[in-house]
Structures are given as structure tokens and as C-alpha cells.
Structure 1
Amino acid sequence: MTSLDLANGRSLEYVVAGPEDGTPLVLHHGTPSAALVFGPWRESAAKHGLRMVMYSRPGYAGSSPRPGRAVADAAGDVAALLDALGAERFVTVGWSGGGPHALACAKLLPDRCGAAALIGGVAPYAADGLDFMSGMGVENVEEFGAALKGKAALTSYLDTQSAALAHVQAGDMAAAFGDLVSDVDRAQLTGEFADYLAESFRTALQSGTAGWRDDDLAFVTDWGFRLDDGQVPVAVWQGGQDRMVPYTHGEWLAEHVAGAEPHLLPDEGHLSLAVGAVEEIIADLVRLSR
């Protein structure tokens, strides 16, 4: 793990894995999570000549908080990180809460970003024609409900939730997700992937809930960029059995994001896509970037 000092005085924790001469694949983690690389993702990226780059968003793990940040602010942090790595061009993937941040990079760094992929990515709260919380598990309905009430209500809610997640172990993951996992996703919560998720939660919350809080507040306010502008290709991957980010979010994004290519898979879930479709997603990302 390495720390980058930014011009505004913040620090950004990041990790790089894969071929040194590879095009960076900037992977935006979910909410809550941190800059931990899942082995199969690293291996698939390397197979396609890509260098995995992950950073902990502000407020997570070792990255300085940035209260009031917008989704759009991710583009500036990614640009600074790429500059520090001596890289110009990149591709990007955003899983779950990372989806909007990957989309920000595609829209705001069009001269550098070759392509983006969203995996179970969140749509904007104020999206016309979308019932944002319809189909979500109970825990996410409660969480976003708290976010809509403001910073104080959300902080209180997340502090309560983090008490267990800050120490969660792999065997506890199914119970920790509760109503957020469908049967297809519950089946993924074993072995290496369960270990990875548990470690990512523990790492993300080691410095408190500021990153989680600021993610949620950013999701339900203006993202800071237009979705219907730009020419960077964006693959939208969404499962029909997703109770964290419902299928309708993927449908909406596929219809409203300029340059979007839909991959709407009725039998997949939020976790199953991240585990079972790794190779397909990265191969398609490379194709789009060409």
C-alpha cells in the first residue's frame, strides 16, 4: 500500500498490481470498501496486459476525508494518481458504489479514459422515471432513507451498522448482508471471495465511517456532470437478481448514459457478476477501448 500526497494537502492511499508497462485499469471499489485487490481480478487484468490500480476513496482506510465531496471529484483524484504513476491513458471499472465514480472518470477525463465498465452501478437518485429504492433490500432502503435526511441522521445510522462490519469475518458475510443478497448472491459468499469482502469491510472502516457517509451523500445529491454527454464507451453490467442495486438502475443507465452498451443479465446478482463474469467484463473493456 502506498500513499500519494495531493496538492490540496490530502493523502490518497492506493495499490498497484500487474505488469509495469500495462495500461492502468482503475478499479473503483464499492460502498463501503477500500483499495484491496481481489486475486481473480488482478489475474484477469494481467492476462489482458492491464495494470490494476485501486485507491481508497476519501475517508476510507488511509485516505484523508473530503467532507462534501461530489461524485465528480473522483476524476480529479484519479488524474492526480495517474500523473504520479506516469500514465496518460487508462480504462476503468466501477463496481456497485464505485460505478458512479468510474462514470465520472469517463465523462470528465475523455482524453485519457479509453472505456468504462459499470458492474451493478448505482443510478442517480433524482433520475427521471426511476424509483430509486424499489427492489432494494431492507438495509439499503434504511441506509438511503437516512442519507436523504442529511449528514447527522446518516452518521448515526452508519455508526450503528459499522459496529459489526468493522470486525466481520468471512463466515459472517451472509448474515451481515441480510436482505441484500438473493439466493444467487448468497451462494458466492464462500472461500476466497468471502475472505476478500470481509477484509475489505474491516479495512474500509478502520478509520471510521466518513468515507461511507460521504459516498452515500454524494449518491443522493447532484453528481456534478452530465450523463448524456461524451463519447467514451461505457459497458453497463447489471443482474436481475441484484437486491443491492436493483435491475432497474442498470436499465436506466443503459438508456440514459451516452455511449452505453447494455449487458443486462436477468439470472445474475450483485456479487455473482463480480465473481463469475470477471474475464468477460475485462475482455469486453479491452475491446471497447480499441
Structure 2
Amino acid sequence: MQRIIAGLDVHTSHDDIAGRDVLLWHHGSPQTGAILPPVQQAADTRGLAVVSAARPAYAGSLRRPGRTVADVAEGIGPVLDELGVASVVSVGASGGGPHALACAAAMPDLVRAVITFASPAPFTGDDDWFAGMQAPGGLHAAVEGEAARRLFSETDQFDPAQFVDADLAALEHEWASLGADAGAAGEIGPDGLIDDDLAFTRPWGFELAKVTASVLLVQGARDRVIPPVHARMLAVALPHATLDLRPDDGHVSVLRHLGAALAR
């Protein structure tokens, strides 16, 4: 079911999820917030309902210029209140990872666990943060400000070298819906992606040390989009984090471990 709640384009796996335990899905950059079939299947296996909200400026969600990572979490709070969910496993893929962590910091009584896949770490302010990224142009431009990031988007082209063979195989098979959804998000416009990049290269608005929930950091060792050093930085900064490094996976193929991560 799809509806607008508190200015956000919200998707739920069931019409009524009041009192249910929920997988709160934080989509990558860019995506529309639609519930992808492999996410639904993994949640069904664990008896979880799914809630997914498009971040501001994605799909039908209203833009919030200057939004921080913490702002997005604060915006999701009223959504979960209206839906009446019982508890949350906050799961973020790539650009959704920081927002999954932010929800745990903002709603410690509701979020019982966090799982991230290939999440960026907070920006350190130096070039080491970009090391290992195949195509960091958008993030580099975001450091210079919104005008520079918008200018970059006018000529930005996808670099296929970001994906290893395992990523391409995942996009051709079980995660084909992710590629299709990213394409749909791109057709809507660049605002969501621009605002994400700006948020990632500025203070997130909360301290990782205040995330009291257990966190599982699932990371592909071959990731060329968000390299493993980011997962290691997060593991050091989070008080209750476990790093699950997958040696054969890249940025997309690591999502194949969603079911196993939920089981843990």
C-alpha cells in the first residue's frame, strides 16, 4: 500500500500494520522508496511487515532543502507513530545506511536492531574518506556546496566500473528490481540524490556513540562504491557493532545476505 504521511511517500507491505514488528527499509541513492521483492521476501520469512519511506525529494516526498541525516530520522518518527508499529529493525542499503543508524539514535525505544549494507561512514573532511571509491565525483562536488553538486549532475554519467561481476549478476537476477527502481528514481530528477550527497558530506546531526541498539554492518570486501574502510570506521565508532565482511561481494551483491542478516 502507498500513501502520503507527514509529507513522505510511504509504502507498506500490508494495509494495517498496527502492532506489528516491522522491517523499516531505508533505500539507497537514488531509489523511489518502493518495497523491492527481495526485501519483501526476506521480511516475510522472519514474520516482519515492511515500511519504506522515500526520503525528501525522492518520488512523492516533499523536498527539505538543507536536510541532515538526523532530519530524515525525525521525519520518519511521525510516520511510525501514525502506523502504530510495535518495534523496528532498521535496515539501510548504501545511502540508506546512515539513515538506518539515525533512526536508532532518534527512537531508541522503538528500534531494536540495525542492519546496514555498504553504508558510508561520517565524512572525515580529508581525501582519505574517498579512497577506494571508483566514482566519487558527486561526493567531491557536494563538499563544495549545492551549486557545485548541481553543476556536476548536469554532466554526471554512471561509471560501470563501480560494479564487480558479482554485482552485475545480482542485478541481472534476484536484485533486478533494484536496478529498475534506481532508473525510475533517476527519471524523476536529481534532487534526492543531490540532497543525499550534501547530507553525507556534512555533520549527520547525531553522534554514533548514542546508538544503543545492536548494529550489524554487512560489507562487501570488493565494494568500489563504498569501500570496506567505511564499515571499519563505523565499527569503531558504534558501541554495539559487529562487522560482517563478505570477501566475494561488491556493492550490490552484498544485499544477497539480507535474509541471513535478519536471522542473526
Q: TM-score per shorter chain, which class?
A: over 0.9
Q: CA offset at residue 231 of structure 1?
A: 1.8
Residue 178 of structure 1 corresponds to which residue in structure 2? 160
| Equivalent position amino acid for 1:155 in 2 | R
Say whether residues 1:151 and 2:146 are aligned partners: yes
2:37 matches 1:12: no
Q: CA deviation at 1:78?
A: 1.7
CA contact (8 A) 1:62 1:207 kept: no
User: Match of 2:91?
Assistant: 93
Residue number in structure 2 paired with 1:132? 129
CA shift for structure 1 position 41:
1.6
TM-score by length of 1: 0.85
Counterpart in 1 of 2:228?
247
Deviation at 1:158, TM superposition (A): 1.8
**C-alpha contact (below 8 Å) 2:8/2:56 kept by paired residues:** yes
Q: Distance in 1 between matches of 2:47 and 2:173?
A: 27
Deviation of the 1:127 alpha carbon: 7.2
After superposition, the C-alpha distances for 1:235-256 in whole angstroms (9 at most, x for unaligned) are 1111110001001111111111
Cα deviation, residue 159, structure 1: 3.5
Alignment of 1:233-244 (within 5 A): 233-244=214-225
- Partner SS, residue 11 of structure 2: strand
| CA distance in 2 between partners of 1:240 and 1:122 (Å) | 14
Kept after mapping to 2: 8 A contact 1:71/1:100 = yes
- Aligned equivalent of 1:120: 118
Amino acid across the alignment from 1:279: G
Identify if the C-alpha distance between structure 1 residues 71 and 47 changes in structure 2 by more than 3 Å, giving closer, same or farther: same
Instruction: In structure 1, give the amino acid aligned to 2:93.
Output: W
Aligned match of 1:142 = 137
Structure 1 residues 147, 74: closer, same or farther in 2, change over 3 A? same
Task: Indicate the SS of the match to 2:92.
Answer: strand
Q: Which amino acid aligns with 2:153?
A: L
The CA deviation string for residues 83-118 of structure 1, in whole angstroms up to 9 with x for no partner, is 111124211100000000000011121111111001
Question: Percent of counterpart pairs with the same letter?
Answer: 37
| SS at 2:155 equivalent | helix
Distance 1:127 1:265 in 2: 27
Which stretches in structure 2 are left out of the alignment for 5+ residues? none
* Secondary structure, counterpart of 1:110 in structure 2: coil
TM-score (norm 2): 0.92
Per-residue deviation, 1:203: 2.9
Question: Hey, what's the Cα distance between the residues in 2 that align with 1:41 and 1:205?
Answer: 21
- Shift of the 182–280 alpha-carbon distance from structure 1 to 2, 3 Å rule, reads same
1:200 aligns with 2:195: no
Post-superposition shift, 1:265?
Answer: 2.0
| Paired positions, count | 262
Instruction: Measure the CA separation in 1 of the matches of 2:119 and 2:215.
Output: 12
Q: Is 1:278 the equivalent of 2:249?
A: no
Aligned counterparts of 1:136 and 1:225: Cα–Cα separation in 2: 25
How has the CA–CA distance of structure 1 residues 244 and 30 changed in structure 2, closer, same or farther, with 3 Å as cutoff?
same
Does residue 24 of structure 2 align to residue 26 of structure 1? yes
